[in-house]
Structures are given as structure tokens and as C-alpha cells.
Chain A
Amino acid sequence: MSTHARITASVYTSHVPAIGVAMDQGRTAEPYWSPLFAGYEPSRRWMADHRPDAIVLVYNDHANAFSLDMIPTFALGTAERYEPADEGWGPRAVPPVQGHGELAAHIAQSVIQQDFDLTLVNRMTVDHGLTVPLSLLFGEQPAGAPAWPVPVIPLAVNVVQYPVPSGRRCLQLGQAIRRAVESFDQPLDVQIWGTGGMSHQLQGPRAGLINQDWDAAWMDRLVADPRGLSGMPHLDYVREAGSEGIELVMWLIARGAMADLAGGPAPRVAHRFYHVPASNTAVGHLILEEELP
């Protein structure tokens, strides 16, 4: 048994708000939604067998915790607890998020000393960007549940105001997070999740953009050639995957934390799923498992 923490898997998923609404209103069996939720059934079974001790969840805030008063590029949550945000429709009826303050503080110290100038956040609400992925992987939670089944360390990335961080910087941040986790002296299994995307555009006359071929090729490269993919310029995302498709750079943070980017073996694809549409968005989902000793 290892004496230190380790990364065991990375999970990638879109975080469309309408998915949360469908779950909260009990509409998942409707014809429109059932193919989408069927794609996450293997993921929920996988999660039951691979439940980690903590999740580093990379997501973006959608003008809820952060207004234009402060726009941190990388904001790490170091609190013990986060409440779901009222995004204007009222807060989602889901449990509060329990943090992991001790591991978060360790990651903060280690990653900043690896030249990433993180913003640290001790008080914030979390919006659908964080809670919809939890809903997809853990399913509906009992009313009154005190917390989600696993502690979560939120890592909020600015992808709202351009320019967002580059793919290369995101991949490097993932590598730094891996080193931080591996130097934490408790035997914890840690997953890192990258969320957002895939192709979609919510604004202007081009709203409704979907690019299935591009999404499929992007996911192929994320698995097989993450270093090459991290060089893709922002402009390619905006042109081909839509103004909000640029959220995909967040997947590169999770990918950067996998062993093959630290000289280890390539991860195994445990599950892959893609579906169009969920409201305005193409939904992509991947689970990559580390080869563990």
C-alpha cells in the first residue's frame, strides 16, 4: 500500500445546465433525455467500483461566484464546504459540496511553488459547471443528504472572458497537480475531472453550432496525443467548436495529470460516449483509468 496519494483516473464530461434540470425534475426517462442518461449508466457502475477519496474537479463558473469584479484565471477552492449557487432560477436541489481542505492546501502550496500563480478561494458558491458532472456520475442524491458521496476540490478556470488560458498552460497545470498529489503523505486515491464542452455556441446568430466530426477527432487526440493537442490555438476552438466550445481547454488540465505525461504508461479508455443534442450542446464523456501497480 502506497504511503502517498495517487491519481487513479481522469473523468471528462460536458456540464450542460439542462441536464441538471432534467434530473432535478425527474424527466430523465423522457425520449429526449433517455439516450443521454443511458450513456452514463456504465459510468455510474464504474464509479461504484472505483470510488476515490477525493476529486479535483476542473470546471468554470458561469457568472455566478465570479462577476466582472474579479476574473481569476485559475482559482482553487480550499474551503471545507460549498453551497450550490442561485443562478437566477433558484439553487439546484442538490447536496452541498464537501471540500477537502487539507489536500487542497497541500495542492495550493505545491502548485504555486511550481510557478502556477493560483488564486485561492475560501468562500464561494458552485454552479452547474461543478454540480452537473457530480449528478451525472453519482446519480440523484437522497433529499436532505448532507453532502455528495466524495469530497471535491473545485478548480475554477476562466473561460468566459477572452483570452482564456492556453491549452499548453492547462496541460502543464495538470502535470503540476499530479506532482502535488503524489507528494501528499496520506494514502488517498484521487481522481481529476475535466468538464465543459463539447462543441456549442450560446450567443449571436451562430448559436446552435455543433461540430460532431471535429469533436470526435478532438477526443481521439486527447487520448492519443495530448501534448500535440495542447498546441491547438484558441482560434481553432472558437471557429470549429463555437464560442463556448473553448471550455474544452479544461479537459487538458485533467489529461495533463495522467501518468503518461510524467513518463509512465498510457491510460486505458474505460468508457467513451457522445451525444447530440442536450439543449444547445454536444455532450462528450470519457473515463481514463491509470495502470496501477
Chain B
Amino acid sequence: MPIDKPYLDIPGTTIFDADQARKGYWLNQFCMSLMTAGNRARFKADERAYLDEWPMTPAQKEAVLARDLNQCIRLGGNIYFLAKIGATDGRSYQQMAAGMTGMTETDYRDMMLAGGRRPDGTPRRAPVDPVLVADARAATAGDTRQDTRQDLQDTQNSQNTQESGR
């Protein structure tokens, strides 16, 4: 009898179960190797050569080189292991988390200050003065906040496409 996996439809979430752990074994063990200063230095000196020492799949290596953490997770990575790559790059958990949501670090931090993201995936926003909003809109043509919900959907759509394409 197949194992019931009632958690596969949770939006924007990959559960690190035994099947994912099997897929990602070498990817995650590579990450563990970055816990010594010597290995961190060797990795930074020549990332591809260091990755080639590990029996990872080509797709896993490309995802690491591109620092595409969502792709790493799809390919069996787990965030606590992948965090060693962030540590090697000098990045915090919050910077890594922001990167996976498609938000800028500032937008992500603002969302957390406003109470974070709802379980359905939509970000909370602090109520702000409408005059200030108008000013900000005029002043910041590149502001990405209103695009975040769309980004989330785009990320999920591309995830679904890739899942079904496998």
C-alpha cells in the first residue's frame, strides 16, 4: 500500500520526507561539508571543482552554483542543510528566506514586521497613511511590493509545471 502524503498540496511548501531525503542525500551532505573553515575556503576558491568531488546530479550542482534554493529544495535539499551555503556566502536565514519568496530583503523584513505571511501564502502589510502611499508610489517606480502576490503565484505555477513535466 502506498504511503499517504496528505501534505503535497500545501502552497509554496515542500515537506522534507524520506523520499526527498533520498533524492537529496549527497546535496545535503555536500552542504554539511561546509561546516569547516577549510572546506568553505576550498569551495569558494573553485565552486565547480569542489562540487565535482560529490556524486550529486548535474541539476543539483547547477542549482547550487545559481544559489537557487527553491530548486535545491525541489531536488531534495533541506533548508537547515542549505543554510550552510548561505553561511559560506555570509547570508542570514532572513536573507535566504527572502530570496526564496521572490521578495526583496526590505519587503520581506517589512512583511515580517507587519505580522508575516498568512497560511494561504498572502503577505500581510502594515496599514499605512494613504498620502504616504501616494508619495511612495510616485517616488519608487521600482517598488516590488504589489507584485509579491503575483510572484508567489508565478513561482508556484513554475513549480507545478516542473513537477508535472518530470
Interface residue ranges, A against B (CB under 8 Å)? 17-18, 62-64, 67-69, 86-89, 160-163, 199, 201-212, 214, 234-235, 238-240, 242-244, 276-277, 279-280, 282
**Bound Cα distance from A235 to B124, whole angstroms:** 23
Closest chain-B Cβ to A24's Cβ sits at a distance in Å of 13
Secondary structure of the B side of the interface? helix
Interface of A is mostly: loop
Q: How far is the CA of A161 from the CA of B108 in the complex (A)?
A: 26
Q: Does B28 contact A (CB under 8 A)?
A: yes
- Distance of A17 Cα from B7 Cα, bound (Å): 27
Determine whether the beta carbon of B100 is less than 8 Å from that of A204.
yes
- Whether B152 sits at the interface, judged by CB under 8 Å, is yes
Given A160-B80, A162-B15, A205-B121, A18–B21 Cβ distance below 8 Å? no
Number of chain B residues close to chain A: CB under 8 A: 59
User: Do A209 and B116 touch (CB < 8 A)?
Assistant: yes
Instruction: Say yes or no for B54: interface residue by CB 8 A criterion.
Output: no
- Shortest distance between the CB of A15 and any CB in chain B (Å): 13
Q: What are 7 A-B pairs at a CB distance below 8 A?
A: A68-B21, A87-B84, A162-B7, A205-B121, A208-B97, A210-B115, A234-B7
Interface of chain B residues 46 through 60 with chain A (CB within 8 A): none
Partner of A235, one of B6, B36, B40: B6
Q: How far is the CA of A214 from the CA of B15 in the complex (A)?
A: 20
- Is A204 a contact partner of B15 (Cβ separation < 8 A)? no
Interface core residue of A68, A89, A212, A240 (most chain B CB under 10 Å): A68
Q: Is the CB of A208 within 8 A of B101?
A: yes
Are B29 and A235 in contact, CB atoms less than 8 angstroms apart?
no
Measured between C-beta atoms, what is the minimum distance from A250 to chain B in Å? 15
Does chain A have a CB within 8 A of B144? no
Identify which of residues 80-114 in chain B touch chain A, using a CB-to-CB cut-off of 8 Å. 80-81, 83-84, 86-88, 92-94, 96-98, 100-102, 108, 111-113
Residues of B contacting A62 in the complex (Cβ-Cβ under 8 angstroms): 80, 83
- Which of A86, A204, A277 gathers most chain B CB within 10 Å? A204
Query: Which of A18, A163, A210, A235 makes the CB contact (< 8 A) with B117?
Result: A210
Cβ contact within 8 Å between A203 and B116:
no
